[in-house]
Each structure stands twice: as structure tokens, then as C-alpha cells.
């Protein structure tokens, strides 16, 4: 049986909340279990890591699993995580840069939801956003990906002149298809990530200009 991403997310989050509720209930009833569930808050990171692992997002999953496990063990055995935490951060940054997969460039985004809004405002946090924008007066907007991925198809949208679109990825990735008749004004900032512009030049004088402000931190954005 195949389970949806939403079901898996609800299963993990619901299980954690049930454990918290049971612990609070037992404490209110006057029973002493000898421990508090709040000392196990790193399980949140472990649950999210397992969810990402099921979705085959390997490096974000391993990052959360390792740090969640390290914080959990530090609470159980009473040692300082910070003594070993910062070297682990450097190691994972290096592994992410070395082994980040190269995405295959495809002509269209399959299975995308149709969006006719004038302004785009989407966030992919531990998940995915796939949209095809068909607005007749697209004015820009903002799209974020944190441990997630967004794929936006603007090829059929009519872009308003000087529209501003902000793109942000943190340990995530983004893919944007632009209309062929739009002049791109790209402002990019990349910190241990990459921003690739594959669009061609537009020579039409009266072509509308789209201003894209792209920021990638340990992430990737392709236009």
C-alpha cells in the first residue's frame, strides 16, 4: 500500500503530540515516570528526518537525523553537544556541496497545479510546490524553499513590466521556467549554493522586464 506524503507527515507529527499529551496527563495525575518527554524534543528533528528520508531527500534527512540523535543523546547522557556540533556542520556542508545531485533539464513541469493569481506567494518547507502560472497580468511575488523544492512554470503567463519575483532556497532547490518574450533582470546571491541562468537574450524592444531576486544558501536555483 502506498501512503501519501501528507499521511506520513500527519502520522509522525501526530505520534509525537500524542506522546507529549500522555506525558502531561500522567504528570497531572501525580505519577512520577522519572523522566519528562520535553527532554526528548530532538525527536521532532528525527521525525522530520525520517519523513525526508522516505521522500528520498537524503542529505537534509541525514542532517536532521544526525543532529536530532546527537541532541537526544546529549540530553540522556548529559554531555555538551556544542563541543562536537560545529565540526559536524562543516562536514555536512562539504558533503552537500560534493554530492548534491545534478538536476535533469526538462521542457515542462509535469503534474503542476494551475495558478491564475496575479501575485505568487508560495513556500515549500519540508515539501514540494509544483505550479503552472497562467495569469494575464503577472506582477511577481515570492517563493521559498526550506528543506524542500519548488518548480514554477511561467512560460504561459503574461508578465507585467518591471514585475519583481523573489526566490529563496535554504538547503532546498528551485526551478523556474520563464516566458520567451520577457527580459530577465537577475539579482542573485549565493552562499555555498548555485544559481544558474539558462535563459536566452530577448532583443524585442517593447518586451516586458521581469526582475528576479534569487538567493540560495546551501541550495540551488535554475532559471
Average confidence (pLDDT) over 114-121: 80
**How far lies 110's CA from each of 9, 131, 198, in Å?**
24, 9, 20
Provide the 8-state DSSP code for 202. -
Q: Domain count of the chain?
A: 2
Domain-embedded: residue 107? no
Distance CA 120, CA 87 (A): 39
| DSSP letter string, 18-53 | HHHHHHHHHHHTT---SS-GGGGTTHHHHHHHHHHH
Average confidence (pLDDT) over 134-153: 87
Q: Domain residues for 34?
A: 5-99
**Are both 164 and 200 inside the same structural domain?**
yes
Residues 208, 163: contact at Cβ < 8 Å? yes
**Are both 185 and 210 inside the same structural domain?**
yes
| DSSP letter string, 65-111 | HHHHHHHHHHHHHT--THHHHHHHHHHHHHHHHHHPPPPPP-SS-TT
Domain-embedded: residue 104? no
**Are both 91 and 33 inside the same structural domain?**
yes
Among 66-75, 106-115, 137-146, 158-167, the least confident range: 106-115
**Are both 147 and 64 inside the same structural domain?**
no
Domain-embedded: residue 105? no
- Of 77, 99, 121, which marks where a domain is finished? 99
Run of H or E including 15:
helix 5-28
**Quick one: pLDDT at residue 88?**
67
The model's pTM: 0.60
**Are both 90 and 120 inside the same structural domain?**
no
Domain-embedded: residue 78? yes
Average confidence (pLDDT) over 48-55: 74
Amino acid at each position: 500500500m502506498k501512503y501519501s506524503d501528507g499521511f506520513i507527515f500527519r502520522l509522525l507529527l501526530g505520534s509525537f503530540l500524542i506522546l507529549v499529551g500522555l506525558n502531561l496527563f500522567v504528570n497531572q495525575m501525580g505519577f512520577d515516570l522519572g523522566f519528562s518527554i520535553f527532554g526528548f524534543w530532538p525527536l521532532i528533528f528525527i521525525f522530520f528526518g525520517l519523513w525526508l528520508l522516505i521522500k528520498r531527500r537524503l542529505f537534509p534527512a541525514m542532517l536532521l537525523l544526525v543532529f536530532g540523535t546527537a541532541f537526544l543523546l546529549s540530553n540522556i547522557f548529559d554531555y555538551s553537544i556544542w563541543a562536537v556540533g560545529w565540526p559536524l556542520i562543516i562536514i555536512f556542508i562539504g558533503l552537500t556541496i560534493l554530492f548534491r545531485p545534478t538536476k535533469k533539464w526538462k521542457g515542462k513541469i509535469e503534474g503542476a497545479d494551475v495558478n491564475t493569481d496575479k501575485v505568487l506567494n508560495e513556500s515549500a518547507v519540508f515539501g514540494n510546490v509544483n505550479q503552472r502560472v497562467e495569469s494575464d497580468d503577472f506582477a511577481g511575488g515570492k517563493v521559498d524553499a526550506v528543506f524542500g523544492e519548488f518548480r514554477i512554470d511561467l512560460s504561459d503567463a503574461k508578465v507585467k513590466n518591471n514585475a519583481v519575483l523573489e526566490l529563496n532556497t535554504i538547503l532546498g532547490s528551485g526551478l523556474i521556467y520563464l516566458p520567451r518574450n520577457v527580459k530577465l533582470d537577475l539579482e542573485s546571491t549565493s552562499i555555498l549554493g548555485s544559481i544558474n541562468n539558462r535563459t536566452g537574450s530577448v532583443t524585442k524592444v517593447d518586451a516586458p522586464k521581469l526582475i528576479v531576486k534569487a538567493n540560495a544558501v546551501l541550495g540551488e536555483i535554475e532559471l
